[in-house]
Chain A
């Protein structure tokens, strides 16, 4: 057992020589006593400082209502413990409610307090019982539908599939309760339910394993779930009468926890809130999941069990709402001291706060050579030249990194990188019949002008979203020409500008997010009034607002009014719907846009988004550091939407400049920016870099010889190298379109293809150096610096020299060395 107790340390000092006889024994006893004292002190200092009870009140409104609670004990260092089962509970008026099987159930109307005590701490919550004798009629939507969710009946792999299973279909996760009611009761009379024998129909029999069922036994006949079905059928399988209270919220308790040790258990309590002010304990009716099983698993009953250290997000889903709670797992008895860092920027403070919570030490800042290469690749898509390296290393000023960042940001290559990134977001490409190459180029040029002029992003995006006119004369209108389908267009806008994938909600409510079909079609309703017509030039189209056109909801076929995601329905009767939309998206109050753009920027430099994938923000994929994301978003919007400010802040932070070498505490972390991630250089930049180190030029259609690959405007323009290394064709707005995955083709292309070998010979660099009569070590050093931005170390130099000197053809040998360097991960990866 290791713990830092000052007593044991002291004893090893001056008392050492006093060890003999009784004195020895006595003195040996002291460490034991001290150890014990220390242990008690340890235990005392680690004792609980308070307990907390969730939910904050128990309110039971009808006979069958019930409520479970969870009791959390807090330690001073932030750790929590679930003490529900070991705490004592007492009601001040035990005649009104009873506690049984983990649930409070009503006996009689009244109110009192529930007092919970644990380890000398106590807390109490009010208990209110009303309607203890009231038995409201069973509701299909509120009582029976959740059985299918909880039993796993309406998941996509079972009866929630598009065709259901063996002719029995339920709506996926219950997005269509009216249809489910018809299908269960009347689609096949006599087979699924038998009103005369509630247990007899297949709905119950298959679920409880009474008859063979491919889906297996979902729950026991004695379970509460089966009892609900049987009760409903025995009452004649009624549908809900007109209005039942809508679900408005779901609360998951505890709202967060920091647990230590693996195998620790944490129970959850889920409470659903309805529009009529009532609530229900739905702990037994939720679906539970963890986004990180290796750190924490959650059982179908809502009991979390911890595993390895890390962070997990535990989600609960009930009907249409999914919520989650973050859980941090730290090793048992971890002694952790986080030395206050010096030189932190505001970004670093936010990152470090999270690391502290997770008990992770960040790696140290990288060295100058690493920083130089990394920043150059990230900011301008090049590798530093020898001169740039020498200059940077010789510079002794404190702020040379900051100065370098500013310098790189002024170059035109910086603009080109960001134009390329935005071109991917806007999917700039030529497309048969829709956008001609000329159109694509004009579109690209427009974007270039805006970014080069440092146009505030909100203005630029607004200009794009409301653009009308000819696609040549007002290029941002191409956005609406490239995607003419209303639904796909709305999906693209949500993904590109709000960072969300709402696609799932087109056909059913999103399984892991808050978006329902109503939200989806409400958002799509901003786009159906965009008209397109041919202009004089056959390659050009005119985009305008036709003023008519609606989106219909597939269930019920009614027109859907435009509605902002997660916000109100605006009045758009006399305004261009796109204008309202643009205004809402770029408003500083919009919770999605600024954070998404900030996250995209962050991902570019850190290799991983705070929300990752950056365009997949959802309830079940929370940000790894929500305060950081908020801060970055706010910085962007507060700075007047000047993304250069954000870039500057990010590059100047220690977080960005951390070394990629991990330490013992952070070697498993890839999500919290405790160390730099090793990232493969993206296709265009890689091609440019390979070309520049080999002194070769590329020719792309529409661009002069020697232009950079990052300058290519049209997503359709590509070559073998770029395609192999994952250049986005921009047919898709997904951030995954830019592929950084390694593949066999890539390796083979570099090893065997013309990318490296031919370029080396064509570029004639080795030839030149040989003609300049440079010696092998110098040439080799230059090659290392060109490729890796560093000199070779002793072994590397010795080994390569040996190879070159022993080779028959010196030029070929040197070219081989060059080839080897370009093929090595240190070159291809940004580290």
Chain B
């Protein structure tokens, strides 16, 4: 091993003591290493926190003893000193935890483990050291200075403040969804944060898709708030009956910028002042603590509450702080100095939520007594009170125009006009409604319930837009599901395709047959039409001919008459001629009369011929007409048959079209699903890779 690597190793070894204690502090474990001294900071405090500090803490000093600080531990309690440095057996604390004396500690519980007892004994015997000199105290708090300079205006212009690409891997996948008690929408951007166990889920209110998971290893998230300028997200929570913490993230980077507070029970509610100088926290300790964000120190404490502090909010201008507790007390305080400003008297049940109207002039509060009340910020008088939800109202949020939305134990969430009149009752929730939030553009309302469902509705028409999953599954599972989908759909598409093919063929056939049928029909139809016109023409002709015949017959009569006349003329002429055979004129007359008679006879013959031919023609025509008519009848019968077949075929054709379309659509849909699933597979694989890379870079 060369010098450099030796040096590196040495440095690493030196660094160990700085790393290890902080690990111990953060994990709260107690393991002793053989050569390290047992100290209060490193070994005893985590032990005390786990086993003792629920009763022996600064807010609740049972027996006058506070074990959460070294000095207080040494100071002792009402029975006197509990630690005699150097003398474990003689120390009262040791006697009680080892059950050598009464009252045994922790009370009503099993004795603490032998390992813990040996740590305590070692610590006292070694002289009750506070901390190891060489190891720096691992800072329990992480702070950043994001206090805004006084007078800074909060502007919500510009592009929405959204997180960068974040890992979508959940920290915890619960057995099933459970109550969502923390929900907040960003004031500038389509972003909503939902609290869960050990994680904060970030969703887009536009796509309703998960866009980020912020780990919260401190425990359950009970309260979420965005800073007024939308840049920070503050979460308050912890482990019930054990520890409480407030964490702040910078949204644009997704990085934790502050970890504040050191409570002995979970933080129920936390808020950041508008100027971001203070964080107010409240919880079962009944004390409202105002911490300075710059260094995490406690600036002031409010001890007036007699029960758990369940809700609080800074006024938009940060001048006032509204706090409410489980006994129904509601106060307004001056933020700096924590002086009582007003007692808002009226509620008869636990205060479950407070919200300042954006202009800061009115405070809304909801309570287990079922009412929603409005209070004047100036003086604290009650403006309005109305029954919002029978059984208890649990959440309240303002819209920019002075309307409010509340939710409660009647499984409903409701939109109220500024004067407290109900404007809209949204669709009923599956269980009691716990929190409500409004998107930054005031178009959507989100409501969470006891089952873990978070529904999104359009405010203007009340219709449901969608829902958000408060218990998303692990990415691996999502990938598996997507892959499964691909497989399933791919399997399903085969029969669908086949079905489509079959249907398609049937459809084509059906269309074709209809087409053919139609064609034939058309042809026959036109034939018939032609026949009809032929018949008509024939009939017309026949009529004409008949008329002519009639006329001709009549003219025949005339002709016969004229023949007779001509004959008689001829006779006359002949007579005349006979009489006067030399009369040329008479002879001419006779000739003319002969001619006339001949002509008349010819004419008569012609007419007779023409009558005959006309008759023949008429007969022909009649025959023709009859033939045509019978053909027409046959045609018509055929047409009828074809018509009915055509109708049936058309119906069948429509059916096949429908079916084919259906199958086609199914295939299309499946194809779409497959492609979506394939995209999802890619997406989730991508997300998994991203999450892993994030984790690697974090470690």
Q: Which of A190, A194, A196, A217 is close to B110, meaning CB atoms less than 8 Å apart?
A: A217
Q: Do A214 and B241 form a contact, CB below 8 Å, given A197-B175, A200-B197? A: no
Q: CB-CB < 8 A to A213: which residues of B? A: 108-109, 241
Q: Which of B18-26, B176-184, B210-218 has 4 or more CB atoms under 8 Å from chain A?
A: B176-184
- Interface status of A674 (Cβ within 8 A of chain B): no
Q: CB-CB < 8 A to A635: which residues of B? A: none
Asked if B242 and A196 make an inter-chain contact with CB atoms under 8 angstroms apart, the answer reads no
Asked if A214 and B450 make an inter-chain contact with CB atoms under 8 angstroms apart, the answer reads no
Q: CB-CB < 8 A to B108: which residues of A? A: 213-217
Tell me the minimal C-beta distance from A723 to chain B in angstroms.
42
Q: Which of B442-495 contact A (CB under 8 A)?
A: 450-452, 471
Q: CB-CB < 8 A to A202: which residues of B? A: 240-241
Q: Do A211 and B241 form a contact, CB below 8 Å, given A194-B178, A195-B175, A197-B197? A: yes
Q: CB-CB < 8 A to B400: which residues of A? A: none
Q: CB-CB < 8 A to B409: which residues of A? A: 186
Residue of A nearest to B54 (CB): A212
Q: Which of B53, B174, B239, B241 is close to A195, meaning CB atoms less than 8 Å apart?
A: B174
Q: Do A196 and B178 form a contact, CB below 8 Å, given A189-B450, A190-B222, A211-B242? A: yes
When each residue 577-616 of chain A gets 1 if its CB lies under 8 Å from chain B and 0 otherwise, what string results?
Answer: 0000000000000000000000000000000000000000
Asked if A196 and B308 make an inter-chain contact with CB atoms under 8 angstroms apart, the answer reads no
Q: CB-CB < 8 A to A111: which residues of B? A: none
Q: CB-CB < 8 A to B175: which residues of A? A: 195-198, 234
Asked if A190 and B181 make an inter-chain contact with CB atoms under 8 angstroms apart, the answer reads yes
| Alpha-carbon gap, A191 to B326, bound state (A) | 14
Q: CB-CB < 8 A to B517: which residues of A? A: none
- Interface status of A206 (Cβ within 8 A of chain B): yes
Q: CB-CB < 8 A to A166: which residues of B? A: 284
Asked if B178 and A195 make an inter-chain contact with CB atoms under 8 angstroms apart, the answer reads yes
| Alpha-carbon gap, A15 to B51, bound state (A) | 77
Q: Do A189 and B54 form a contact, CB below 8 Å, given A212-B241, A217-B110? A: no
Tell me the minimal C-beta distance from B175 to chain A in angstroms.
5
Tell me the minimal C-beta distance from B269 to chain A in angstroms.
12
Q: CB-CB < 8 A to A200: which residues of B? A: 197
- Interface status of B55 (Cβ within 8 A of chain A): yes
- Interface status of B670 (Cβ within 8 A of chain A): no
Per DSSP, are chain A's interface residues mostly helix, strand or loop, or mixed?
loop
Tell me the minimal C-beta distance from B363 to chain A in angstroms.
23
Tell me the minimal C-beta distance from B394 to chain A in angstroms.
8
Asked if B109 and A209 make an inter-chain contact with CB atoms under 8 angstroms apart, the answer reads yes
Asked if A211 and B54 make an inter-chain contact with CB atoms under 8 angstroms apart, the answer reads yes
Q: Chain B: how many interface residues by the 8 Å CB criterion?
A: 39
When each residue 754-767 of chain A gets 1 if its CB lies under 8 Å from chain B and 0 otherwise, what string results?
Answer: 00000000000000
Asked if A167 and B308 make an inter-chain contact with CB atoms under 8 angstroms apart, the answer reads yes
Tell me the minimal C-beta distance from A152 to chain B in angstroms.
10
Q: CB-CB < 8 A to B53: which residues of A? A: 212
Q: Which of A177-232 contact B (CB under 8 A)?
A: 185-186, 189-191, 193-198, 200-202, 205-206, 209, 211-217
Q: Do A196 and B241 form a contact, CB below 8 Å, given A190-B181, A213-B108? A: no
Asked if A212 and B222 make an inter-chain contact with CB atoms under 8 angstroms apart, the answer reads no
Asked if B109 and A216 make an inter-chain contact with CB atoms under 8 angstroms apart, the answer reads yes
Tell me the minimal C-beta distance from A485 to chain B in angstroms.
28
When each residue 246-266 of chain B gets 1 if its CB lies under 8 Å from chain A and 0 otherwise, what string results?
Answer: 000000000000000000001
Residue of A nearest to B174 (CB): A196
Q: CB-CB < 8 A to A78: which residues of B? A: none
Q: Do A196 and B471 form a contact, CB below 8 Å, given A190-B179, A205-B240, A214-B108? A: yes
Q: Do A209 and B110 form a contact, CB below 8 Å, given A196-B176, A202-B240? A: yes
Q: CB-CB < 8 A to A186: which residues of B? A: 409, 431-432, 450
- Interface status of A236 (Cβ within 8 A of chain B): yes
Q: CB-CB < 8 A to B266: which residues of A? A: 191
Tell me the minimal C-beta distance from B30 to chain A in angstroms.
16
Residue of A nearest to B326 (CB): A167
Asked if A206 and B241 make an inter-chain contact with CB atoms under 8 angstroms apart, the answer reads yes
Residue of B nearest to A189 (CB): B179
Residue of A nearest to B198 (CB): A197
| Alpha-carbon gap, A609 to B368, bound state (A) | 52
Q: CB-CB < 8 A to A193: which residues of B? A: 178
- Interface status of B307 (Cβ within 8 A of chain A): yes
- Interface status of B77 (Cβ within 8 A of chain A): no
Residue of B nearest to A195 (CB): B178
Tell me the minimal C-beta distance from B513 to chain A in angstroms.
59
Residue of B nearest to A185 (CB): B450
Residue of A nearest to B176 (CB): A195
| Alpha-carbon gap, A344 to B517, bound state (A) | 123
Q: CB-CB < 8 A to A234: which residues of B? A: 175
Asked if B107 and A216 make an inter-chain contact with CB atoms under 8 angstroms apart, the answer reads yes
Q: Which of A487-530 contact B (CB under 8 A)?
A: none
Tell me the minimal C-beta distance from A764 to chain B in angstroms.
63
Q: CB-CB < 8 A to A195: which residues of B? A: 174-179, 451-452
| Alpha-carbon gap, A234 to B176, bound state (A) | 8
Q: Which of B536-588 contact A (CB under 8 A)?
A: none
Asked if A212 and B51 make an inter-chain contact with CB atoms under 8 angstroms apart, the answer reads yes
Q: Do A236 and B176 form a contact, CB below 8 Å, given A189-B434, A213-B108? A: yes
Q: Which of A167, A185, A194, A209 is close to B197, meaning CB atoms less than 8 Å apart?
A: A194
A167, A195, A236 — most chain B CB neighbours (10 Å): A195
Tell me the minimal C-beta distance from A238 to chain B in angstroms.
12
Q: CB-CB < 8 A to A196: which residues of B? A: 172, 174-178, 196-197, 452, 471
Q: Do A217 and B109 form a contact, CB below 8 Å, given A194-B174, A212-B51? A: yes
When each residue 120-160 of chain A gets 1 if its CB lies under 8 Å from chain B and 0 otherwise, what string results?
Answer: 00000000000000000000000000000000000000000
Complex A-B: 9 CB contacts under 8 Å: A186-B409, A195-B452, A196-B172, A196-B176, A197-B178, A202-B240, A205-B240, A212-B241, A214-B107
Known pairs A202-B241, A209-B109; list 12 more (Cβ under 8 Å): A167-B326, A186-B432, A189-B179, A189-B181, A195-B174, A196-B177, A212-B54, A212-B106, A212-B109, A212-B241, A213-B109, A216-B107
Residues in chain A within 8 A of chain B (CB atoms): 166-167, 185-186, 189-191, 193-198, 200-202, 205-206, 209, 211-217, 234, 236
Query: Which 8 pairs between the two chains have the least Cβ-Cβ distance?
Result: A196-B174, A216-B108, A212-B54, A189-B179, A195-B178, A211-B241, A190-B181, A196-B178
